[in-house]
């Protein structure tokens, strides 16, 4: 490895000339407006929805249900990064139009993943937050292009990335003039195979110490199993996450992607209630 890129050297550079992501004082905190709420405040926010946008009616139905449960932002993939090229790839632009219609009807903010830098202007017409997926965390061309957008960027941690690499990926966006980056811990690859990924709870306090950017937890991808989503959500909020990104599907067994890790609206209602108690215990609200 080039010596300039070693962990030590990156840390030294930080000390001499702080990165834009770095926390300069204990109370420095970036806040980002989402719908009618603010991420990075004392309120723990919920961002939820199916992994993929499957139909307009599906999104309308789930959006009303989730809104009534206190969700701030609806998430759903229009362009899906699938491991196999033969798996469902998303409904693309049509799905963006449906999402915009749902926003119109419900007032929920819309979060969706962008994979192609050329599509930033298209996404800007339809959505509120640009999600960069785990597989693209170090797609530097994409990071620079969303860094020029006015929309907030939800950056997911690369599945094999260190926290330092994650923060430097956020710096690519910040350095282009976009100050609104949301970091999302979504689990990393380890030797453990009882779960899809290993949710790195350590990342939450480490990020809190190093950066003023808001921190989300995604226990759906972090575990890959709907049975564990509630427990890991509790842990993430207790550890200091500013919000949860949760996959919710009306009938997970029929989902076109990530059904195994999707919880039902009924399970989500229980999760919101339980997270209310955890938030209270750490001096926050929902």
Note the residues at the interface with ligand PEP (CB under 6 A). 51, 77, 81, 133-135, 156, 186, 221
Please report, as ranges, the residues that interact with Mn ion according to CB under 5 A.
Answer: 51, 258
Q: Please report how close the Cβ of residue 233 comes to ligand PEP at its closest, in angstroms.
A: 15
- With a CB cutoff of 8 Å and minimum separation 6, the contacts of 156 are 131, 132, 133, 134, 137, 184, 186, 218, 221
Q: Please report how close the Cβ of residue 283 comes to Mn ion at its closest, in angstroms.
A: 31
Residue nearest to ligand PEP (CB): 133
Residue nearest to Mn ion (CB): 51
Residue with smaller CB distance to Mn ion, 130 or 286: 130
Measured over the CA atoms of residue 125, residue 176, residue 178 and residue 145, the dihedral's sign is positive
Q: Please report how close the Cβ of residue 24 comes to ligand PEP at its closest, in angstroms.
A: 29
Q: Please report how close the Cβ of residue 157 comes to ligand PEP at its closest, in angstroms.
A: 8
Return the CA Rg of the chain.
Answer: 18
Helix 93-106 to helix 56-68 angle, to the nearest 10 degrees?
30
Residue with smaller CB distance to ligand PEP, 45 or 51: 51
Three-class SS state of 136: helix
Choose among ligand PEP, Mn ion, none what residue 156 binds, the Cβ cut-off being 5 to 8 Å by kind.
ligand PEP
Q: Please report how close the Cβ of residue 258 comes to Mn ion at its closest, in angstroms.
A: 4
Residue with smaller CB distance to Mn ion, 174 or 236: 236
Structure tokens at 126: 């339809």
Q: How many residues does the structure list for the chain? A: 286
DSSP string, 36-94: TEEETSSBPEEEEE-SB---HHHHHHHHHHHHHTT--EEE-BSS---SSTTS----THH
Residue with smaller CB distance to ligand PEP, 51 or 230: 51
Residue with smaller CB distance to Mn ion, 119 or 245: 245
Choose among Mn ion, ligand PEP, none what residue 103 binds, the Cβ cut-off being 5 to 8 Å by kind.
none
């Amino acid at each position: 490895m080039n010596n300039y890129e070693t962990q030590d050297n990156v840390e030294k550079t930080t000390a001499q000339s702080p990165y834009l992501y770095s926390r300069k004082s204990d109370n420095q905190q970036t806040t980002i407006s989402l719908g009618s709420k603010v991420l990075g405040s004392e309120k723990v926010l919920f961002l939820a929805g199916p992994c993929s946008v499957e139909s307009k009616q599906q999104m309308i139905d789930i959006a009303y249900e989730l809104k009534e449960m206190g969700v701030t932002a609806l998430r759903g993939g229009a362009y899906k990064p699938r491991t196999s090229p033969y798996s469902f790839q998303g409904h693309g632009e049509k799905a963006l139009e449906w999402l915009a219609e749902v926003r119109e009807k419900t007032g929920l903010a819309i979060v969706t993943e962008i994979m192609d830098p050329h599509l930033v202007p298209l996404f800007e017409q339809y959505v509120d937050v640009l999600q960069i997926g785990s597989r693209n965390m170090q797609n530097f061309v994409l990071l620079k292009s969303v860094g020029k957008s006015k929309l907030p960027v939800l950056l997911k941690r690369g599945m094999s990335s260190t926290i330092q690499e994650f923060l430097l990926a956020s710096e690519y966006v910040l350095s282009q003039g976009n100050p609104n980056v949301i970091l999302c811990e979504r689990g990393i690859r380890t030797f453990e195979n009882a779960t899809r990924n290993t949710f790195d709870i350590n990342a939450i306090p480490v990020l809190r110490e190093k950066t003023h950017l808001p921190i989300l937890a995604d226990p759906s991808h972090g575990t890959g199993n709907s049975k564990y989503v509630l427990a890991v959500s509790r842990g993430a909020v207790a550890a200091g996450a500013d919000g949860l990104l949760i996959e919710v599907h009306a009938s997970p067994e029929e989902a076109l992607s990530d059904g195994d890790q999707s919880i039902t609206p009924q399970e989500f209602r229980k999760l919101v209630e339980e997270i209310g108690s955890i938030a209270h215990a750490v001096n926050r609200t929902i």
